[in-house]
Amino acid sequence: MPELRKDPITGRWVIIATDRVRRPSDFSRESVIVEGGRFCPFCPGNEMKTPPEVLAYRHGGGSNTPGWSVRVVPNKFPVLRVEGNLERHGEGMYDKMDGLGAHEVIIETPDHDATLATLSEKHIESLLWAFRDRTLDLKRDIRFKYILFFKNHGEPAGATLEHSHSQLIALPVVPRQVQEEIDGSKRYYDFKERCVYCDMIRQDAESGTRVVLETEHFLALCPYAPRFPFETWIVPRKHFSHFETSDAPTVENLAWVLRTLFRKVDRVLEKPPFNFILHTSPLHEPSMLHYHWHLEIIPKLTKVAGFEWGTGFYLNPTPPEEAAKFLREAGLS
Amino acid sequence: MPELRKDPITGRWVIIATDRVRRPSDFSRESVIVEGGRFCPFCPGNEMKTPPEVLAYRHGGGSNTPGWSVRVVPNKFPVLRVEGNLERHGEGMYDKMDGLGAHEVIIETPDHDATLATLSEKHIESLLWAFRDRTLDLKRDIRFKYILFFKNHGEPAGATLEHSHSQLIALPVVPRQVQEEIDGSKRYYDFKERCVYCDMIRQDAESGTRVVLETEHFLALCPYAPRFPFETWIVPRKHFSHFETSDAPTVENLAWVLRTLFRKVDRVLEKPPFNFILHTSPLHEPSMLHYHWHLEIIPKLTKVAGFEWGTGFYLNPTPPEEAAKFLREAGLS
């Protein structure tokens, strides 16, 4: 019998097709293979092909020359622009505002062929510090209400360049998806006086069936009501609402978790395209007891179709207990 | 300057990339070509390869034999099942219920090669009557709260069989997307004492810039804040909340609009994959002054990526005014 399951945070229902379960080998493969060979604006030596860097961690060289390990530049084709103002305008019954914001690219490595599964822990850690440093810098611009960090890996997941990179978009409004999570967590907190994510960690760590891996600081799990097959969340054990308040041991541990998880994902799903998204709190919101930052990883294995667009329901052919088992048991040589 | 535009119904923001506008020729083509040649369970003569029909419009033959023009059968691999009950169960902090529902396939034509752009108006009209008839029948099962009609055309839009068909899913809950539209329309109505869709028809018909075509009973338009390039809505001029209350002249006119619109879409975007979705009211809801049924058509031209999943914002590289102009001016030979 298929199951309808409810996400305890947003209240979103998903259909888990327990009848016709799709295992890793049942998905059509679109493995992401880095081919190289073409001109790449993110490779060392081509620094002048991007807008000037806003941050770089360097072991040598001057600004906008080789010698960096992580480099952040404004997107050459930004979806939002830093010029403009926050005023809203009417157009008869409609509302609009300037497309104000910042859109930056975090070039994760000078090595064209590296991925999050092959980079060293130390390197991934510095990438995470870059996320933190850009947040603290952009936060000073009070026009920005939220910063989204995300990664599109592979063309089916929306990437246009293959050199490993993530992106940030700073927005003048808190996006509805984020607001829904915060509001949903708040409702749970008002009722239970406990954080819904903390409860999830407790219950899932105890049952173990949806756990992918556990460390001192993190739990990686396939959530109870995932939208997508093999959707995996990395949740810090300690309650913090803002990613940027993480301390060094936490960030160091997160780097290990990310690297291990991506190696497992590559192993089980044969280097799938994926998105990852950092879920954190609005910039100027004080620390919240009800919201808990975390990372969501979505391998791109299925197509979103009319049913999903029409209902906001999701149809997931892989129960999270199955997905977690595959990922948990994947050996890493 | 890019624009942030707000959908007046749901409050959803979209980013219209007015800076780097993508015109029809800028999208990578994935034209849907019907190839035929393989065994097809929807073709006449293969009626025994599907579950027994629940509805067929026939010019001859007995049940489950050739002679039909439109045929409705339960999905052989349903995502929900009619057995089960409405009881909700807890699993610790989580909630679930049986995957109760109905999942049917509307085989739109016996002709394997036909599409909504090539079928006759009369034929499309009978397809719309099938939607109505199935609604009235399924409505008698009081466990169902909502029926979604949708079509996935072409593999990139989620279709698995190429023979032209649409689907219905009857659900035991009102899906959140539908509830959001109804709630949003209600807020507008409470404030203005007018239907937001009626206002939209008035304003857009007057300005004309987003209009694709106008008939006695319908307006086809690219909405002010579309999620996707070339997204087009077909909205009835007369206010009705439920599709199934449509009278014969309305359904007849809708068939003409659909056929004409899909011919335009095929011309401008070279037979793109697409989804269409009927937006109507919950089954047992009485007629509502604030909600207005309509059809939404979404050509599949771009990829939804990390930014959209993380924010619920959409990034649309084609302003609706440009899209409408292309569709409006497309000549039909």
pLDDT higher than threshold 90 for residue A208 = yes
> Which residue segment(s) compose the domain that B24 sits in?
3-80+95-329
Q: Which residues face A244 on adjacent strands?
A: none
Higher pLDDT, A116 or A87: A116
Quote the CA–CA distance of B29 and B110 in Å, as a whole number.
28
CB contact under 8 A, B96 and A180: no
A12 located within any domain: yes
Q: Report chain A's C-alpha Rg in angstroms.
A: 20
Q: Minimal Cα distance from A194: which residue of B?
A: B93
Q: What percent of chain A has pLDDT over 90?
A: 81
Cβ atoms within 10 A of the Cβ of B57, count?
A: 16
- B310–A148 C-beta distance less than 8 A: yes
**Nearest beta carbon to residue B158 from set A2, A278, A303:** A303
A69: CATH: 3.30.428.10
Place of tokens 């305008």: A89
Residue A277: closest CA among A106, A118, A152: A152
Judging contacts by C-beta atoms under 8 Å, the chain B residues touching residue A150 are 305-307, 309-310
> Which candidate from B19, B93, B150 shows the least CB-CB separation from A307?
B150
Question: Is residue B317 domain-resident?
Answer: yes
The DSSP output letter for A291 is: -
User: Does residue A268 form part of some domain?
Assistant: yes
Q: What is the chain A residue with the closest CA to B102?
A: A2
A254's enclosing H/E stretch is helix A248-269
In a domain, B85, yes or no: no
> What are the residue ranges in chain B where pLDDT is below 70?
333
Distance, CA of A152 to CA of A298 (rounded, Å)? 10
Distance between B332 CA and the closest CA of chain A, angstroms? 27
B23 CB-near residues (< 8 Å, 6+ apart):
B318, B322, B326
- Of B103, B123, B165, B217, the catalytic one is B165
Cα–Cα distance, A250 to A14 (Å, whole number): 32
> pLDDT value at position B87?
85
Q: Which helix (H) or strand (E) holds A165?
A: strand A165-171
**Which residue of chain B has the CA closest to A76?**
B20
Reported ipTM: the value is: 0.90
The shortest CB-CB distance from A84 to any of B1, B97, B99 is to B1
Q: How far is Cα A16 from Cα B97, in angstroms, rounded to an integer? A: 11
**Chain B: residue whose CA lies nearest to A301:** B158
Q: Does any domain span residue A87?
A: no
Nearest to A176 among B12, B18, B306 (CB): B12
Instruction: Return the residue in A21, A196, A303, A316 with the most chain B beta carbons within 10 A, the one to mutate for interface testing.
Output: A303
Over residues A9-28, the mean pLDDT reads 86
Burial class (CB in 10 A: 0-12, 13-18, 19+), B281: buried
The verdict on a CB contact (< 8 Å) between B275 and A12 is: no
Task: Note the pLDDT tens digit of each residue in B57-110.
Answer: 999 999 999 999 999 999 998 888 888 888 888 999 999 998 899 999 999 999
Residue pLDDT, tens place only, A121-174 = 999 999 999 999 999 999 999 999 999 999 999 999 999 899 999 999 999 989
Q: How far is B285 from chain A (nearest CA, A)?
A: 17
Least Cα distance to A16 among A326, A272, A301, A322 occurs for A322
Q: How many beta carbons lie within 10 A of that of residue A18, not counting itself?
A: 15
Beta-carbon separation of A94 and B8 below 8 A: yes
Indicate if B165 belongs to the active site. Answer: yes
Chain A nearest-CA residue for B15? A99
Amino acid at position A281, single letter: S
- Residue B90, in any domain of the structure: no
Beta-carbon count within 10 A of A145 CB: 18
Nearest chain A residue to B223 by CA distance is A94
- The whole-number pLDDT of residue A127 equals 97
CA distances in angstroms from A7 to A126, A176, A191, B55, B59, listed in the order given:
33, 16, 16, 36, 48
Cβ distance B17 to A79 less than 8 Å, yes or no, reads yes
Answer yes or no: are the C-beta atoms of B330 and B267 closer than 8 Å. Answer: yes
Q: What is the pLDDT of residue B313?
A: 87
Residue A149 contacts residue A278 (beta carbons within 8 Å)? yes
Mean pLDDT of A266-291: 96
Q: What is the pLDDT of residue A332?
A: 77
Contact state of A306 with B150 under an 8 Å Cβ cutoff: yes
Q: Which of A124, A79, A86, A139 is nearest to A104 (CA)?
A: A79
Q: Does A59 score more than 70 pLDDT?
A: yes
Burial class (CB in 10 A: 0-12, 13-18, 19+), B319: buried
How far is CA A232 from each of CA A117, A155, A168, A250, A317, rounded to the nearest angstrom?
Answer: 15, 20, 21, 19, 15
Q: What is the 3-state secondary structure (H, E, C) of chain B?
A: CCEEEECCCCCCEEEECCCCCCCHHHCCCCCCCCCCCCCCCCCCCCHHHCCCCCEEEECCCCCCCCCEEEEEEECCCCCCECCCCCCEEEECCEEEEECECEEEEEECCCCCCCCCCCCCHHHHHHHHHHHHHHHHHHCCCCCCCEEEEEEEECHHHCCCCCCCEEEEEEECCCCHHHHHHHHHHHHHHHHHCCCHHHHHHHHHHHHCCCEEEECCCEEEECCCCCCCCCCEEEEECCCCCCHHHCCHHHHHHHHHHHHHHHHHHHHHHCCCCEEEEEECCCCCCCCCCCCCCEEEEEECCCCCCHHHHHHCCEEECCCHHHHHHHHHHCCCC
- Cβ neighbors of B10 (< 8 A, separation 6 or more) are B180, B181, B184
| pTM score of the predicted model | 0.93
Residues 6+ apart with CB under 8 A from B53: B47, B63, B64, B68, B71, B72, B73
**Is B5 in Cβ contact with A95 (below 8 Å)?**
yes
A59 to chain B nearest CA, in Å?
A: 31
Could you tell me which chain B residue has the CA closest to the CA of A156? Answer: B303
**Distance (Å) of CA A284 to CA A239, A274, B183:** 18, 30, 29
B310 vs A150, A159, A313: nearest CB: A150
pLDDT of residue A162: 94
The answer to whether A150 contacts B92, with C-beta atoms less than 8 Å apart, is no
B4 → closest Cβ in A93, A99, A307: A99
Q: Give the angle A202-A204-A205 at the CA atoms, nearest 5°.
A: 65
Q: What is the mean pLDDT of chain A?
A: 94
Is B93–A167 a contact, with Cβ atoms under 8 angstroms apart? Answer: no
How many A/B residue pairs have CB atoms within 8 Å?
224
- Please indicate whether, in this complex, the C-beta atoms of B310 and A277 are within 8 angstroms of each other: yes
Quick one: which of B75, B138, B85, B82 has its CA closest to B107? B75
- One-letter amino acid identity for A220? A
Residues of A in contact with B169 (CB under 8 A): 307, 311
In a domain, A184, yes or no: yes
What is the number of other CB atoms lying within 10 angstroms of the CB of residue B60?
8
Residue B210 φ/ψ, nearest 5 degrees: -110, 10
Strand arrangement of the beta sheet that strand A146-153 belongs to: A55-58, A68-74, A102-107, A165-171, A146-153, A274-279, A294-299, A232-236, A218-221, A211-214
Contacts of A296 in chain B (CB under 8 A): 309-310
Nearest residue on chain A to B195, alpha-carbon basis: A93
Q: How many CA atoms lie within 13 A of A195 on its CB side?
A: 19
In Å, how far is A193's CA from the nearest CA of chain B?
Answer: 14
pLDDT, residue A333, reads: 65
Query: What span, in angstroms and rounded, lies between the C-alpha atoms of A240 and A195?
Result: 10
* Closest by CA position to A3, among listed A20, A15, A19: A15
Q: Looking at beta carbons, which residues of chain A come within 8 Å of B180?
A: 312
**Which distant-in-sequence residues (6+ apart) come within 8 Å of A101 by Cβ?**
A78, A79, A80, A81, A82, A144, A169, A170, A171, A172
A interface test, pick of B93, B147, B210 with most A CB neighbours within 10 Å:
B93
Helix (H, G, I), strand (E, B) or coil at A210: coil
Q: Is A57 helix (H, G, I), strand (E, B) or coil?
A: strand
When scoring A1, A4, A304 by the number of chain B Cβ atoms within 10 A, the one with the most, hence best to mutate, is A4
* B238 vs B250: CA distance, rounded Å: 9
Instruction: Please report residues of B whose CB lies closer than 8 A to that of A98.
Output: 1-4
Chain A residues in contact with B6 by the CB 8 A cut-off are 94-96
Q: Tell whether A105 is covered by a domain.
A: yes
The count of domains in chain B is 1
Nearest beta carbon to residue A224 from set B2, B94, B180: B94
Ranked by mean pLDDT, which of A2-11, A81-90, B75-84, B109-118 comes out on top? B109-118
Report pLDDT for B48: 96
Residue pair A173/A146 in contact (Cβ under 8 Å)? The answer is yes
> Which sequence positions of A are flagged as catalytic?
165
